[in-house]
Structure 1
Amino acid sequence: MFRMKPLPPCHDSMESMQVFKQHCQIAEEYREVKKEIALLEERKKELIAKLDQAEKEKLDAAQLAREFEALTEENRTLKLAQSQCVEQLEKLRIQYQKRQGSS
């Protein structure tokens, strides 16, 4: 990693010492900002991954809801068919009993 190192000050010059001190402060602030940016970039990656997962789960939930609706409709249709078959069977039994009784 690139490290910023200020040039050593000229100890005989007050202005050089101030510039050196400012440079050190700016370099430290820069390092802190870079560190914060790296942490925020990592957090951004985590949030994007969570968002992707949430969207996938949402799609999965929507697919499951569609499947549930289709199966519910199929169940309703099958129950109706069963009830019609039971009615038809009962009619056939009655007809059979009438034939047995008349013979």
Structure 2
Amino acid sequence: MVPQPLPPCHASMESVQVFKDHCKMAKEFCDVKKEMALLEERKKKLMAELDDDEKENLDAARLEREFRELAEENQTLISCHNHYSEQLEILRVQNQKRQGSS
């Protein structure tokens, strides 16, 4: 609500000037309130974007950690597979030697 000044006394220059000053200040006050409201709304939007970005960063960090863990597990499984494949081949050779010598 815009403050309404009392009408000036036209016989007094000082009264007219006070009236004009009041009108000017009232307009500036309204302009500042509008700008504050716009800035507050912009702040809310930026805060929401920041929250979204933080969530995305947390998700990305979690996915990176998960990827590293799975890659390590994969390497371990590959090593085990290679080791057991070698052992299997050794056992096959030994079995063939036994069957050949029987």
The runs of 5 or more residues in structure 2 that have no matched partner are: none
- Opposite residue 4 of structure 1, the aligned amino acid is P
* 1:1-103 map, 5 Å: 2-103=1-102
| Structure 1 position 66, deviation (Å) | 1.0
TM-score by length of 1: 0.93
The percent of aligned pairs where both chains have the same amino acid is 64
1:7 and 1:81 mapped to 2: Cα distance?
A: 92
1:24-68 superposed Cα distances (whole Å, 9 cap, x missing partner): 000000011111111111111111111111111111111111111
What's the offset of the Cα at 1:94? 0.3
* Corresponding letter in the other structure for 1:45: K
How far apart, CA to CA, are the structure 1 residues paired with 2:94 and 2:19?
Answer: 111
Q: Which amino acid aligns with 2:17?
A: Q
Runs of 4+ with deviation above 2 angstroms: none
TM-score (norm 2): 0.94
Unaligned runs of 5+ in 1: none
How far the C-alpha of 1:18 sits from its partner, in A, is 0.9
- Residue correspondences, number: 102
